Amino acid sequence: EETQYICAGCGVKVQTEDKMALGYAPPSALQRDVIICQRCFRLKHYNEVQDVSLTDDDFLKILHTLGQKRALIVKIVDVFDFNGSWLNGLHRFVGKNEVLLVANKVDLLPKSTNRNKLLNWLRKSASDLGLKPIDVKLMSAAKGESVLDIANSIDEYRKGKDVYIVGATNVGKSTFINRIIREFEGDEEQMITTSHFPGTTLDMIDIPLDDGQTLYDTPGIINHHQMAHYIDKKELKIITPKKEIKPIVHQLNEGQTLFFAGLARMDFAKGERTSFVSFFSNELKIHRTKIEKADELFSNHLGDLLSPPGTESVKDFPEMVKHTFRVKNNKVDLVYSGLGFVSINGSGLDVIAYAPKGVHVSIRESIM
Ligand code: GDP
């Protein structure tokens, strides 16, 4: 029987199998006198937090805990995948606590984006989803844009209370926290530690605030709607935008189709000639064809001309599901969760979207 080691840093059971899972330590770490997990190791030696993912069950426990605290909750979402990163249900658990909503990765949107319009849209969408945040902020944690401004807002809105940072995995929570931690560097009095969530095996990072209160970084939950589940890591890099998105304009006639690599498709089924503006990773290829040829192109060229998915991922690629939309007389965005969106400026149009089964597709008032 194997010996079970416990991390001296956070108390989690140490395992050496799954690098992405909680409690991972490289086998060599077991030879040391004091055994700590990789996450605590990085925190201790590099002042850096790592993200861990968790189950829906554990996440519910965390939400439940938040409702019983008196705290400011800072909810981080990915501005490029708002619905996918939203964390449904949070508003039902926060109780009387105030929520500061932070939309990260704003650097991905074109510089010409109207920020006030975007903020209004975020406020309205939050409200439609049942949340009335105390404030809404735009941020680029990666570029450091507005990070300090948000840290100041947190200090103002918390009114002496603790702070919990929550967000789906991949929204940039660690990038944000790591920037804040760097602000503490050199301050010997301050000690960043980890502590347990009651009733779970999960730990959070505790950053001391100057009045004796604490900022807690909670583990993120996996976003189930994302494309990320259907393609491999290399392909994910292609579809994840890293730089400011260059919009691609297509003037389409009725009967034309766009393929977004092999991951999504949009048919312009009915309407006057219209402009469609695509906002996807700059490395993702868009193919235009006719609707009547689209099925054949897809079945013959998925995995090569239409790639990603590549030759490997194509083997267990899910079936495409059809979503039908009617655009009346406002500018809308057709959103493929975790992939991108198409801004449509026209009226009385019929548009048919296809996406892999499980990937969310929706229409929203345009943010552009
Ligand atoms: P977490 O899972 O929420 O902790 O997210 P991470 O901080 O690990 O970030 C997830 C991915 O998003 C990484 O590839 C980051 O480089 C990237 N990322 C984080 N913040 C930003 C940002 O402000 N802009 C952009 N473009 N990417 C970001």
In this prediction, residue 26 has a pLDDT band, given cuts at 50, 70 and 90, of very high
Which segments of the chain belong to CATH 3.40.50.300?
53-221
Q: Tell me the mean pLDDT in the region 258-274.
A: 97
Structure-token pair, residue 282: 């700059």
Residues facing 350 on adjacent strands: 270, 326
Quick one: pLDDT at residue 356? 92
**What pLDDT is stored for residue 70 in this prediction?**
92
pLDDT tens per residue, range 175-212: 898 888 887 665 655 666 766 666 665 667 788 888 88
Q: What percent of the chain has pLDDT over 90?
A: 51
More confident of the two residues 267 and 63:
267
Per-residue model confidence as pLDDT tens digits over 287-327: 999 999 999 999 999 999 999 999 888 988 899 999 999 99
| Most trustworthy range by pLDDT among 51-55, 146-150, 218-222 | 146-150
Give the pTM.
0.82
Report which of residues 205 and 14 the model is more confident about: 14
What pLDDT shows up at residue 341? Answer: 96
Query: Of ligand 1's atoms, which has the minimum distance to the CA of residue 139?
Result: 23
- Decide if the complex's ipTM is over 0.90: yes
CATH class of 53-221: alpha beta
Q: Which amino acid is at 20?
A: M
Residue 43 — pLDDT band, cuts 50, 70, 90? Answer: confident
Whether residue 194 has its Cβ less than 6 Å from ligand 1: no
Asked if residue 170 has its Cβ within 6 Å of ligand 1, the reply is yes
Helix, strand, coil: what percent of the chain each, to 5? 25, 30, 45
Mean pLDDT on 146-157: 94
Which candidate, 83, 52, 166, places its Cα nearest to that of 339? 83
Higher pLDDT, 105 or 11: 105
The whole-angstrom separation of Cα 278 and Cα 246 is 9
DSSP 363: E
- Ligand 1 centroid–CA 175 distance in Å is 6
Nearest CA to ligand 1 atom 24: 105
Task: Find the 286 Cα to ligand 1 centroid distance in Å.
Answer: 25
Q: According to the model, what pLDDT value does residue 308 have?
A: 94
Residue to substitute in 107, 170, 281 for testing ligand 1 pocket (most ligand atoms within 8 angstroms of CB): 170
Of 327, 214, 220, 228, the closest CA to residue 268 belongs to 327
On average, the pLDDT of the chain sits at 87
Range ranked top by mean pLDDT from 24-28, 86-90, 285-289: 285-289
Predicted local distance difference test score (pLDDT) of residue 185: 66
CA of 66 to the centre of ligand 1 (A): 24
* Dist. CA 367–CA 311, nearest whole Å: 35
Tell me the one-letter amino acid at 31. Q
Model confidence band, residue 255 (pLDDT cutoffs 50, 70, 90):
very high
